[in-house]
A and B are shown apart, each in its own frame.
Chain A
Amino acid sequence: EPEVTQTPSHQVTQMGQEVILRCVPISNHLYFYWYRQILGQKVEFLVSFYNNEISEKSEIFDDQFSVERPDGSNFTLKIRSTKLEDSAMYFCASRGDGGYNSPLHFGNGTRLTVT
């Protein structure tokens, strides 16, 4: 069964550094998402991406965050200057052209640790 893949599985970075989290969504999917889960808290929406542009973003997704689909397969999340509170599991997700009424498929996540 096709799956969403994320790399790296664990990223450690120093505060103030830039990080790029990478995702390869399921190949025929059209909607792409980033979510995050801080330890012990709920899964939170960050941003959605469709037709090569951001569809919607949450309050968490401030100017330090950006997303890009540099080619036909990758979907990246960049954090320009990491803060301690950015430490979390970051999940990429995608869904097909069913859009609404079709489930999101998640990757296994990247654990980001900011020291």
Chain B
Amino acid sequence: DQQVKQNSPSLSVQEGRISILNCDYTNSMFDYFLWYKKYPAEGPTFLISISSIKDKNEDGRFTVFLNKSAKHLSLHIVPSQPGDSAVYFCAAERSGAGSYQLTFGKGTKLSVIP
């Protein structure tokens, strides 16, 4: 039961170019979405989030886009840097769920090539 899907297990991008990571979800009740970055031997680190009332949220080099009708979100990193190389997880939750647990995708491993 994959309610949050990241269909690309890996992505390679040249330094300075744009990285686009994609995420699809199936549960229309989800209304808050987050991206986490994870380095080996560390826990997931919060990167950026977006509420369903918005379609775009920007923070420095990171922008998240939400297309509710397509149940799709994407993370854009511009310009990509070697330090961005990590596994990126998309996560989602729904309001009114009580404990506000997150449902994660399987992750996309981003490699930024110098």
Q: Is B a genuine binding partner of A?
A: yes
* Complex Cα gap A99–B99 (Å): 8
Interface size for chain A: under 10, 10 to 19, 20 to 34, or 35 or more residues?
20 to 34
Interface size class, chain B: 20 to 34
Task: Point out the residue from A6, A43, A104 that lies within 8 Å of B46, measured CB to CB.
Answer: A104
Name the interface residues of B72-95: CB closer than 8 Å to any CB of A.
89, 93, 95
Knowing A41-B106, A42-B107, the reply to whether A107 touches B101 (Cβ < 8 A) is no
Q: Which of B31-61 contact A (CB under 8 A)?
A: 32, 34, 36, 41-46, 49, 51
Bound-state Cα–Cα, A24 to B44, Å = 16
Residue with the greatest number of chain A CB neighbours at <10 A, chosen from B49, B98, B100 = B100
Q: Does B103 contact A (CB under 8 A)?
A: yes
Binding site for A on B (CB under 8 A): 32, 34, 36, 41-46, 49, 51, 89, 93, 95-107
